[in-house]
C-alpha cells in the first residue's frame, strides 16, 4: 500500500514538474521574459507600452486581414463604431467644403441647426471665436469644433446670400441620426426600390418603415440595392433577411476552431415573404451584405444581379484590454445556408498579405472579371446547390450573381475623373443652386416635374469647361463627348439632392445605373427565375 502511495506521489511530483517546465517553455513566458529583459537591460530607455503594442500588432499581422488592434485612444474606438451606432452628437448639417469655406448642403430635418433657422446654401465662417473660412483648416478639425456633447452650446457665424451682414446663431447640440437607408421610392406602380448603405443599429427599423410605406403605395416587387454596402452588424443583416424568409429557414451560421457552430434562422414574421425580390450587389458589397444576399440566393427567394461580391466572411470579436485599447480578433467564418464559405482566400503575412488582399479587386479588373462573366472560373469542389430548386451556386469567396452586369467603363474618362477629383462638379452644382434656388423651387413644384423637365443646358456645361480650364485640366474633345451624358446626369442628381433629398438623387442616377436597369428587365420581361 505504501509503495502505491509513494508511486502516486512521485507521479504527481513528476506531473507538476512537467507542467512547470511546459509553462517556462510556453510562448507566453518567452514573450514576458523578452519584454522584461528589454525593459530592464537594454542600453537605452524604452517605451514599454509601445513595445507591447508593436508585439500585439506583429502577432495579428500573421493571422488574417481583419484581425486588428486599436490603440487606447477612446476617440479612435468611438470613431470606428459611430457610423454603425446610428447617431452622433453635433449641430446637424450636411456640408461640403468649397474653397476653404463650409457650405451647408442641407440641415438635418428636425435637427438643432434647422431649429434655429440655418438654411441650405448658408456658409459657416466661424465656430465660437475661431474663424474656419479661408484658413485652410482640415475637415477633421472643423468637425471637431462642430461636434460636441448633447445640450452644449456653440455660436456659429453664417454668411447668407442676399444678406449684407453676417448672421449669428446659437445652436444647442443634440443627437443627430445617421441613416443607413439612402433611398426608398416607387419606380412604377408595382416595383419599389430601397437602397441600404450599411448595416447599422437602426437599419432594421429604417427598412421596415420604408417597406411598409412602399407597400401602402402598392408595391408588389422589390429591388434591394446593396451595391457598395460594406457590411456592419450581424444582427442587422439577420433582421433584414428575416423580412424575406419563412420560419426556421437558416440565414447564416458561424463556425471556428474554438467557436462552436452557431445558427441564425428566420422567425417567419417578415413583411415581404411573398412578392418578387431582386438584390443588387457589386465588388464592394461585403460582409453583412453577403450574408443577406447568400441567404436570399440559397433559398431561391430572389434573384441576384450585378457582380461577384467582395468576399469578407470572417467574424471578429472585440476584446477590450485594460488600458482602453481593443483587439478585433477573428474567431469564426460565415457560411451561407447551403454551406458556402463567404470569405475569399488570403495568403502571406503582414504588409504583403494586406497588400495582396487590397489588390484583389484590381486583379479582378485586370483579369477581366468585372467586364466578362465567362472570365470567372470555379473548380467543382466549390460547387453547391440551392436549397429549394437545386440550382448550382459557388463558394470560395463572395456571392456570384444570377445575372451578371459588367462594369461600365465607356463613360468614365481621365477628363471626368479629374473633374471629380478637383471638386468641380460639386462646386458647379452648389454655385448654380445658390444662384437659382428660389427660381428652381418656383418652376419645379415637385420632383417628378423636375425629373421630367429639367435638363443641364449647354451654358451650364460651358461653365464646367471654364472651371476645368482654370484647374488646368487639359480639354479632350473625344473624352468630353464620352463623359457628357454622365456629367449631365450627375449634375442633375446633385441638384435634385439639394432641392429634395437622397431618394431623389438616386432616382436620377438610377436611370443610368446598369444593374438597376437589368433588375427592371428581369422583373418586366419574364426573366425572373422562379
Active site amino acids: 287, 298, 312
DSSP 461: H
Alpha-carbon span 341 to 344, nearest angstrom: 8
Q: Quick check: 125 and 157 in contact, CB under 8 A? A: yes
Q: Is 32 left (phi over 0), alpha (psi -120 to 50) or beta?
A: alpha
Residue 406 burial (10 A CB sphere; 0-12, 13-18, 19+)? middle
CA nearest to 429, candidates 466, 469, 456:
456
Q: Are 197 and 210 in contact (CB under 8 A)?
A: no
Asked whether 161 and 184 are in contact (CB, 8 A), the reply is no
Percent of the chain as helix, strand, coil, to the nearest 5: 40, 20, 40
Measured distance CA(156)–CA(127) in Å, rounded: 5
Q: Which three cell numbers stand for residue 27?
A: 510562448
CA distances from 330 to 77, 258, 260, 322 (A): 17, 11, 14, 20
Tell me how far apart the alpha carbons of residues 189 and 528 are, in angstroms, rounded to a whole number.
18
Closest among 319, 321, 320 to 329, alpha carbons compared: 319
Beta bridge partners of 126: 131, 157
Residue 86 dihedral angles phi and psi, to the nearest 5°: 95, 0
DSSP H or E run through 365:
helix 360-366
Residue listed under C-alpha cell 537605452: 44
SS3 335: strand
Give DSSP secondary structure letters for 59-128: HHTTT-TT-EEE-S-HHHHHHHHHHHHTEEEE--EEEEEETTEEEEEEEPTTSHHHHHT--TT-EEEEET
Q: How far apart are CA 504 and CA 111, in angstroms?
A: 21
Question: 10 Å Cβ neighbour count for 447?
Answer: 18
Amino acid at each position: 500500500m505504501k509503495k502505491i502511495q509513494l508511486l502516486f506521489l512521485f507521479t504527481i511530483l513528476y506531473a507538476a514538474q512537467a507542467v512547470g517546465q511546459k509553462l517556462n517553455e510556453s510562448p507566453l513566458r518567452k514573450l514576458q521574459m523578452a519584454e522584461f529583459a528589454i525593459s530592464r537591460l537594454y542600453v537605452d530607455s524604452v517605451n514599454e507600452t509601445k513595445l507591447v503594442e508593436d508585439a500585439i500588432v506583429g502577432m495579428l499581422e500573421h493571422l488574417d486581414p481583419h484581425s486588428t488592434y486599436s490603440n487606447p485612444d477612446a476617440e479612435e474606438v468611438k470613431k470606428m463604431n459611430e457610423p454603425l451606432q446610428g447617431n452622433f452628437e453635433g449641430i446637424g448639417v450636411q456640408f461640403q467644403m468649397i474653397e476653404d469655406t463650409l457650405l451647408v448642403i442641407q440641415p438635418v430635418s428636425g435637427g438643432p441647426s434647422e431649429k434655429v433657422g440655418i438654411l441650405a446654401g448658408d456658409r459657416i465662417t466661424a465656430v465660437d471665436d475661431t474663424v474656419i473660412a479661408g484658413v485652410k483648416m482640415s475637415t477633421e478639425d472643423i468637425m471637431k469644433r462642430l461636434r460636441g456633447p448633447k445640450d452644449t452650446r456653440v455660436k456659429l457665424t453664417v454668411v447668407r446670400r442676399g444678406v449684407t451682414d453676417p448672421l449669428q446663431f446659437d445652436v444647442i447640440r443634440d443627437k443627430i441620426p445617421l441613416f443607413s437607408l439612402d433611398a426608398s421610392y416607387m419606380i412604377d406602380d408595382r416595383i419599389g426600390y430601397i437602397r441600404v448603405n450599411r448595416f447599422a443599429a437602426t437599419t432594421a427599423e429604417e427598412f421596415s418603415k420604408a417597406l411598409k410605406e412602399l407597400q401602402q403605395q402598392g408595391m408588389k416587387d422589390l429591388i434591394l440595392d446593396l451595391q457598395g454596402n460594406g457590411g456592419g452588424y450581424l444582427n442587422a443583416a439577420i433582421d433584414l433577411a428575416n423580412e424575406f424568409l419563412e420560419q426556421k429557414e437558416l440565414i447564416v451560421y458561424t463556425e471556428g476552431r474554438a467557436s462552436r457552430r452557431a445558427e441564425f434562422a428566420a422567425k417567419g414574421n417578415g413583411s415581404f415573404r411573398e412578392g418578387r425580390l431582386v438584390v443588387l450587389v457589386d465588388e464592394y458589397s461585403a460582409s453583412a451584405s453577403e450574408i443577406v444576399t447568400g441567404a436570399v440566393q440559397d433559398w431561391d427567394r430572389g434573384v441576384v444581379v450585378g457582380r461577384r461580391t467582395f468576399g469578407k466572411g470572417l467574424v471578429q470579436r472585440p476584446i477590450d484590454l485594460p488600458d482602453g485599447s481593443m483587439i478585433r480578433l477573428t474567431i469564426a467564418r460565415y457560411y451561407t445556408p447551403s454551406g458556402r464559405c463567404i470569405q475569399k482566400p488570403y495568403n502571406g503575412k503582414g504588409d504583403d498579405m494586406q497588400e495582396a488582399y487590397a489588390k484583389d479587386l484590381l486583379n479582378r479588373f485586370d483579369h477581366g472579371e468585372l467586364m466578362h462573366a465567362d472570365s470567372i472560373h470555379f473548380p467543382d469542389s466549390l460547387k453547391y446547390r440551392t436549397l429549394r430548386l437545386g440550382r448550382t451556386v459557388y463558394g470560395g469567396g463572395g456571392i456570384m450573381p444570377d445575372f451578371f452586369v459588367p462594369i461600365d467603363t465607356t463613360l468614365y474618362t481621365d477628363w471626368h475623373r479629374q473633374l471629380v477629383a478637383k471638386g468641380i462638379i460639386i462646386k458647379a452644382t452648389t454655385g448654380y443652386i445658390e444662384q437659382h434656388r428660389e427660381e428652381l423651387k418656383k418652376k419645379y413644384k415637385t420632383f417628378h416635374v423636375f425629373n421630367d423637365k429639367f435638363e443641364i443646358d449647354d451654358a451650364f456645361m460651358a461653365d464646367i469647361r471654364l472651371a476645368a480650364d482654370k484647374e488646368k485640366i487639359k480639354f479632350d474633345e473625344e473624352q468630353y463627348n464620352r463623359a457628357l451624358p454622365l456629367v449631365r446626369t450627375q449634375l442633375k442628381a446633385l441638384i435634385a439632392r439639394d432641392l429634395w433629398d437622397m431618394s431623389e438623387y438616386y432616382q436620377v442616377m438610377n436611370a443610368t445605373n446598369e444593374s438597376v436597369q437589368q433588375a427592371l428587365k428581369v422583373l418586366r420581361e419574364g426573366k425572373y427565375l422562379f
